[in-house]
Amino acid sequence: MRNTTTRRGFLRRAALAVAGVYALPRWAFAGGDEATSLILVWLQGGASQLETFDPKPGTPQGGPTRAIETALPGVRFAAGLPRLAERAQRLCVLRSLTGREGDHRRASYLLHTGWPANPALDYPHLGALLDAEGVGSEAGIGFVSLGQVPARGGFRGAAHSPLEVGTDRAPGGEADGSFARRQGLLAAVEGDFARRSGGDATQRVEAFVQAQRVLAGPMRRAWELDREPAATREAYGGSLLGRRLLIARRLVEAGARCVVVQSPGWDHHAQIFRQHAERTRELDQGLSALMDDLSSRKRWETTLLACLGEFGRTPTINAQQGRDHFPRAFSGLLAGGGLRPGVVGATAPDGSRVVERPLRIADVHATLLARLGVDPAGLQLAGDRPLGLVDEGQPISEILG
């Protein structure tokens, strides 16, 4: 387990000890070889497992989607993922994800926090949790989201919320000084709010200061893609997803602990076979380029990759030639960060249910935490209430290297 000797870690342990809830770790960690950063690729809308990582060709459920062999013997992907199929020997293919949330908002929240939505408690995003736990470098800002995410710092505080950038262009930094003017205006507004309400704006100010460091420091250069060789930019492709994945690699190199890459447009209730083809082409090119890039730059073992949607799609094809929401059985990918490649779990031949090794999103979170040197059985404080880091999730032992 990482020896967390930061002030934040010390205060956390002290607070939990006073509360009488801190216990010795219950997970066996590999010493000294943890990953230091996470790139989470979010297939927003819910990608179809049948058109990506768990095809069922030749069945009524499989539709016209063809399957191709991969570098993992006996494992096939949908034909639209030839590059990832060639690199499958480096992937952890999770074919038995299962849950109950079929609503976009609630399922997205679960995916990003590891907890079901609770009106009484605002859980932190996984990236905010990692930032609060002190994972990775202290340089720059810990948590960046390329696109909007459904959760932020939660009860861990606004200081751990992401720097959220909705485009693939650098945030702020106007040369005419307008950013500095807005900074002064915000400071005045926050001060006035604190005086009138008796509230404490410290965490919001701290979050703003962190964002300033990005705008003024080396992390800002992560968006300057013209610094990359033309061949590298071409490898990722010209899509929004491809550019965001290249920015994510540059952010990790600049010190970010967690980068969420939003890939929108996977919610295909109609014409899924035509529309998914474009999405899978962009994912196949961009994610494969990221894998190669991390390897060539000696960051494969220290960077975790996760590629997940909030749920899958129905095995039944609807009247509009689409697939509807289906949380009962779907797929995802993990890779890098010292994980052991392979396939975990299986679904029925018709894709209707998990028949082997059911996995919850909380299990995925526990696995990522374990590889990032954070005890997934550890505790945190929500106010004065002790709470687990994950919702009773268990690390996926088959893929922990």
CB-based contact 82:284 (threshold 8 Å): yes
* Residue of 42, 51, 46 lying closest to 276 (CA atoms): 51
371: Cβ contacts below 8 Å, ≥ 6 apart: 34, 35, 304, 337, 338, 339, 400
What whole-number distance in Å separates Cα of residue 5 and Cα of residue 350? 51
What whole-number distance in Å separates Cα of residue 38 and Cα of residue 55? 27
Residue 204's pLDDT is what? 56
Residue 8's pLDDT is what? 43
CB-based contact 68:272 (threshold 8 Å): no
* Residue of 365, 372, 371, 354 lying closest to 389 (CA atoms): 365
Cβ atoms within 10 Å of 113's Cβ, excluding its own: 27
Cβ atoms within 10 Å of 129's Cβ, excluding its own: 27
Residue 16: strand, helix, or coil: helix
**Whole-prediction pTM value?**
0.87
Give the Å distances, CA to CA, from 151 to 155, 183, 305, 344.
11, 24, 20, 28
Residue 220's pLDDT is what? 83
What whole-number distance in Å separates Cα of residue 313 and Cα of residue 326? 5
What whole-number distance in Å separates Cα of residue 242 and Cα of residue 333? 17
Cβ atoms within 10 Å of 7's Cβ, excluding its own: 8
pLDDT digit string (tens) for the chain, length 401 residues? 443 334 444 444 444 444 444 333 334 444 458 899 999 999 999 999 999 999 999 999 999 999 999 999 999 999 999 999 999 999 999 999 999 999 999 999 999 999 999 999 999 999 999 999 988 655 557 899 999 999 999 999 999 999 999 766 766 554 444 445 545 555 555 555 555 655 555 555 555 555 665 666 678 889 999 999 999 999 999 999 999 999 999 999 999 999 999 999 999 999 999 999 999 999 999 999 999 999 999 999 999 999 999 999 999 999 999 999 999 999 999 999 999 999 999 999 999 999 999 999 999 999 999 999 999 999 999 999 999 999 999 999 999 96
Instruction: Count Cα neighbours of 381 within 13 Å in the Cβ-side half-sphere.
Output: 16
Look up residue 33 and give its amino acid: D
